[in-house]
Amino acid sequence: MEVMKSIIQKYQHKRISLVEAGVTRHRSIFNGLKALAEDQINSKLSKPEVVIIHDAVRPFVEEGVLLKVVTAAKEHGAAGAIRPLVSTVVSPSADGCLDYSLERARHRASEMPQAFLFDVIYEAYQQCSDYDLEFGTECLQLALKYCCTKAKLVEGSPDLWKVTYKRDLYAAESIIKERISQEICVVMDTEEDNKHVGHLLEEVLKSELNHVKVTSEALGHAGRHLQQIILDQCYNFVCVNVTTSDFQETQKLLSMLEESSLCILYPVVVVSVHFLDFKLVPPSQKMENLMQIREFAKEVKERNILLYGLLISYPQDDQKLQESLRQGAIIIASLIKERNSGLIGQLLIA
């Protein structure tokens, strides 16, 4: 209980009530239902019309699936997500030989979430036997067995799989990275000139990453629009520094991110982009100014912000500029997708 309280506090979750678990799945659920029931002494929560039961090991449930099972439960009394079987289910005999197998096409895998009219599932748990509480695993079956309520079965999404084994953690991490990499905000130090190199980079990003939403905002006007983008949970920022030769604009963006609660749940990627005409300015001179990114990166990493540097060649020739921007876009896409901690504070060159 103390560990869970610390998790809730750390990630600033709201409207959470904790109930102590039981020794089995069904006993834990029953404890949760009791906390919502009106007939329990010291009950501080109000009884809902519908209750949803879900597994913490299925972290990728979508709102649409929740809506479907709740709507179906209101009409039928109970509802649950299902998925097609990917393997045939067999029953072994006592001597370890095949007894019989189920026809895969006629059966489905029961998944979570499941939803119930509260009165239905609470009555089922009140009536069920100690054997059910100790060894049972299917809530829909309890509603059918004790309340004669036939659950409506709702097709679930492929993302309802359980994080069960260590290898599943890597798959889950990959899904999270994919989901939080679907939007990029290009932050510029000016908003007037449409020919601004930041706008050119934005167009190249849109062209190269056609599956990713790319937007742009200026740091002017106290960053009101930018603050809204942060509130809308964009986890990837490309800060274009053109009118200044150092990290002033990037520092402004970092300050805004640190003041928000965006970084609490997932790491935020910030790519600080700088442009340089290598023919006019010696690379060593520019690089010396920009190497302070390492110190910035160390500081903000503690707040779950991953800061990278990108130096893009800025030739006068339009064709060469487009190629430099394209190379820069490829590097940006890789940094956002991989979220490689080994490259934090590095200054990459396109």
CATH of the domain at 84: 3.90.550.10
pLDDT at 349: 80
109/210 same-domain check = no
Q: What is the reported pLDDT for 89? A: 92
Residue 182 and residue 98 share a domain: no
In this structure, the answer to whether residues 142 and 254 fall within a common structural domain is no
DSSP conformation class of 296: H
Residue 144 belongs to a domain: yes
Q: DSSP H helical segments within the chain, as ranges?
A: 2-10, 25-36, 63-76, 118-127, 130-135, 139-147, 166-179, 197-208, 224-231, 248-259, 283-290, 293-301, 318-338
Position 10 in a domain: yes
Last residue of a domain, one of 120, 144, 164: 164
Q: Are 108 and 192 in the same domain? A: no
CATH code: domain of residue 183 = 3.40.50.360
Say if 221 falls within a structural domain.
yes
Any domain includes 220: yes
Q: Are 69 and 154 in contact (CB under 8 A)?
A: yes
Domain count, the chain: 2
pLDDT string in tens for the chain (350-residue length): 999 999 999 888 888 999 999 999 999 999 999 999 987 777 778 899 999 999 999 999 999 999 999 999 999 999 999 999 989 999 999 999 999 999 999 999 999 999 999 999 999 999 999 999 999 989 999 999 999 999 999 999 888 889 999 999 999 998 899 889 999 998 886 655 545 777 888 888 888 888 888 888 777 655 567 788 888 889 999 988 875 556 778 888 888 888 888 888 889 999 998 887 666 656 565 566 667 788 888 889 988 999 998 888 776 677 788 888 889 899 998 999 888 888 888 878 87
Same domain, 18 and 129: yes
Is 169 among the domain residues?
no
Tell me: do 147 and 193 sit in the same domain: no
Q: Is residue 41 part of a domain?
A: yes
Measure Cα distances from 346 to 3, 28, 330 in Å. Answer: 36, 48, 16
Is residue 70 domain-shared with residue 209, that is, in the same domain?
no
Q: What angle do CA 169, 182, 223 make, to 5 degrees?
A: 120
Q: Please, are residues 246 and 189 in contact by the beta-carbon 8 Å criterion?
A: no
* Residue ranges making up the domain that contains 196: 175-349
**170 within some domain:** no
Please check whether residues 146 and 203 belong to one and the same domain: no
Are 134 and 229 contained in the same domain?
Answer: no
Neighbours of 180 (CB within 10 A): 19
- Tell whether 333 and 185 lie within a shared domain: yes
164, 187, 204 - which closes a domain: 164
Separation of alpha carbons 331 and 348, rounded Å: 8
Distance between CA atoms of residues 103 and 80, nearest Å = 21
Helix 25-36 and helix 139-147: axis angle, to 10°?
A: 70
Q: What is the structure's pLDDT at 225? A: 77
188 and 319 in one domain?
Answer: yes
Identify the domain boundary among 164, 194, 221. Answer: 164
Give the separation between CA 105 and CA 181, rounded to whole angstroms.
37
Residue 180 is assigned to a structural domain of this protein = yes
- Do 236 and 343 fall within a single domain? yes
pLDDT of residue 221: 54
pLDDT for the residue numbered 190: 60
For residue 278, the model assigns a pLDDT of 62
What pLDDT shows up at residue 264?
86
Alpha carbons 270 and 238: distance in angstroms, whole number: 6
